[in-house]
Amino acid sequence: MAFRLGDLAADLGGRVVGDPDRVVRSFTNLELAEPGDLSFLKDARFRDRAAASQAAALVVAPGVEVPGKDLLEVEDPGLAAARLAVRFFPPPPRPASIHPTAVLDAAAKVDPSAHVGPFVVIESETVIGPGAVLLSGVVVGRRCRVGEGAVLHPHSVLYDDTEVGAGAVIHAGAVVGSDGFGYVTRRGVHHKVPQVGRAVIGEEVEIGANSAVDRATFGETVIGAGTKIDNLVQVGHNVQMGEACILSGQAGVAGSAVIGNGVVLGGQAGCAGHLSVGDGVQVAAKSAVFQSLEAGAKVGGVPAVDLRQWRRQVTALARLQDFVRRLRALERAKEQGGGE
């Protein structure tokens, strides 16, 4: 796939410094770039590396100079790189069709423009919207709703009553709407609490491979529009998650937590249940949140505390052995001197 640099600049709202008729045939990072490729430079500190690369042209911020390269100047090279990757590597077309091995209940409704792959199962009263894509081995339970243009990758599962919004993406092996982890323990016996609610996934949400979003005990577990969930993430029953959140790999949110908009959980971070996390909160990797957090808080550690305090704690802990040695030396000196 080949594009004129001038055409790409017009699409991105940028400008060319150099030859606008330069034709670029692929898009990649500096290390992998070959002659004829377009690459990008997000950080001007690496301009020497960019100049030494084989890339024919570079996406850069305004005012960045790289000798010997045609440049495509844009205000945000990182965002431009994301858009260019889609331009050069569009997803494969999925023709409107239902594979003969798919199993559809007579009461299911599948839009004629949807793509239903091999061995997909769609149960009764489920509605599959226009342009939705269900790849091989997907299972969709009863009374589900899959929105326009949503994509369900191989072997993902929607339990009964799950709703997936337009443009959402569910990756391979992810499970949405499975039972919440609810039990009442009496005399050493765990009695299951039936989970009779549902899970609602907003528009443009992305759920990574082998992640799970549990259905509510009663009511709904909600993932807000535009939220992105990495692989191997657990979201418990009755969680109310806002829009545009980021949950990194192996993060977990326990049941009935209320998560605001734009919250970021680092890898393996966890939130206890029945608490509230305000808009824009950031939680460092491997941290554990045990109490509610105000909007905009940045926290880390176990238990999670203010990020600056946590960094001081980590620094002090790294020096703890040195402090112990110094204290023992002072104690020995005191004993040898006969002081009190």
pLDDT one-digit tens code per residue, 110-137: 999 999 999 999 999 999 999 999 999 9
Candidates 252, 218, 259, 260; CA nearest to 236 is: 252
Residue 244 has pLDDT above 90, yes or no: yes
Candidates 60, 64, 63; CA nearest to 12 is: 60
| Residue that the structure tokens 């807000």 belong to | 224
| Residue that the structure tokens 């699409």 belong to | 11
Higher-pLDDT residue of 106, 338: 106
Residue 340 has pLDDT above 60, yes or no: no
Q: Which pLDDT band, with edges at 50, 70 and 90, does 44 fall under? A: confident
Residue 237 annotated to the active site: yes
The predicted model gives 265-285 an average pLDDT of 98
Pick the CATH number of 3-88 from 3.40.1390.10, 1.20.58.100, 3.10.20.30, 3.40.50.2300: 3.40.1390.10
Q: Between the CA of residue 159 and those of 39, 102, 127, 178, 201, what are the distances in Å?
A: 43, 17, 13, 6, 12
The predicted model gives 46-68 an average pLDDT of 94
Runs of H (alpha helix) within the chain? 5-12, 47-52, 77-88, 307-318, 320-337
Domains of the chain, by residue range, sit at 3-88, 97-309
**Amino acid 339: pLDDT:** 55
Q: Tell me whether domains 3-88 and 97-309 share a fold.
A: no
Q: 135-187 pLDDT, tens per residue?
A: 999 999 999 999 999 999 999 999 999 999 999 999 999 999 999 999 999 99
Catalytic residue among 115, 153, 155, 237: 237
3-state SS, 107-122, equals: CCEECCCCEECCCCEE
Average pLDDT over the chain, rounded to an integer:
96
Q: 293-313 pLDDT, tens per residue?
A: 999 999 999 999 999 999 999
CATH of domain 97-309: 2.160.10.10
Whole-model pTM over 0.95 = no
Residue 338 has pLDDT above 70, yes or no: no
CB 289 within 8 A of CB 306: no
Candidates 152, 142, 286, 282; CA nearest to 215 is: 142
SS3 26: strand
Residue 89 has pLDDT above 80, yes or no: yes
In sign, the C-alpha dihedral spanning 169, 175, 178, 183 is: negative
